A = this chain, B = another copy of it.
Amino acid sequence: MRLTVYLAGHVHSDWRNDFRKLARSHDLPIDFVGPMENHDRSDDIGEEILGEQPNPILKDEAASQINNLRTQVLLNKADVVVALFGTSYKQWNTAMDASAAITLGKPLILIRPGELHHALKELSNKAQVVVQTPEQAIEALAYIFATE
């Protein structure tokens, strides 16, 4: 049995690479999917495909329709969603993906520093698992496969 895990969260650092490495070091039979991790391309993909747009809002709208296409397809494939929140950025698309997963009946593992708990309290309460570090999330995923 293999699982597909969607990694929701910001695309401003390398956290998904670290996460995947950690999973490999545990030999977990998991296929990771997620958003485009190249932040500039993610912002520019609308104009890349549809051509220059008249203003920044329309550039954003063009990009978000392509980014949401990717997310919808891959979220539909996922067995579990991991969402990482950090102390920077608005991260409303992370909250959107996390809530979509919950509503679709797919379990959510939420990773966040303790200081964010108050602002995330309603989402934490809906998540299946709440942890503070990627390592803990990997351990929770590993437990799904553990036989002893």
A residues whose Cβ falls under 8 Å from a Cβ of B: 1, 3-4, 31, 33, 36-38, 41, 45, 48-50, 54, 56-58, 60-61, 63-74, 76-77, 79-80, 85, 89-93, 95-100, 102-107, 109, 114, 116-126, 128-131, 136, 139-140, 143-144, 146-148
Tell me whether A96 and B93 are in contact (CB under 8 A).
no
Chain A interface mostly: helix
Q: A77-B1, A126-B68, A140-B49 are in contact. Are A63 and B121 (CB under 8 A)?
A: yes
Tell me whether A54 and B57 are in contact (CB under 8 A).
no
Copies assembled: 8
Q: How far is the CA of A71 from the CA of B105 in the complex (A)?
A: 12
Across the interface, which residues of B come within 8 angstroms of A119, CB to CB? 89-90, 92
Tell me whether B3 and A66 are in contact (CB under 8 A).
no
29 contacts between A and B (CB under 8 A): A1-B4, A3-B73, A36-B146, A49-B139, A50-B136, A56-B118, A57-B114, A60-B121, A60-B124, A61-B121, A61-B124, A61-B125, A63-B121, A65-B125, A65-B130, A66-B140, A67-B122, A68-B122, A69-B129, A70-B143, A72-B105, A73-B107, A74-B144, A85-B92, A90-B119, A92-B120, A95-B96, A95-B99, A99-B103
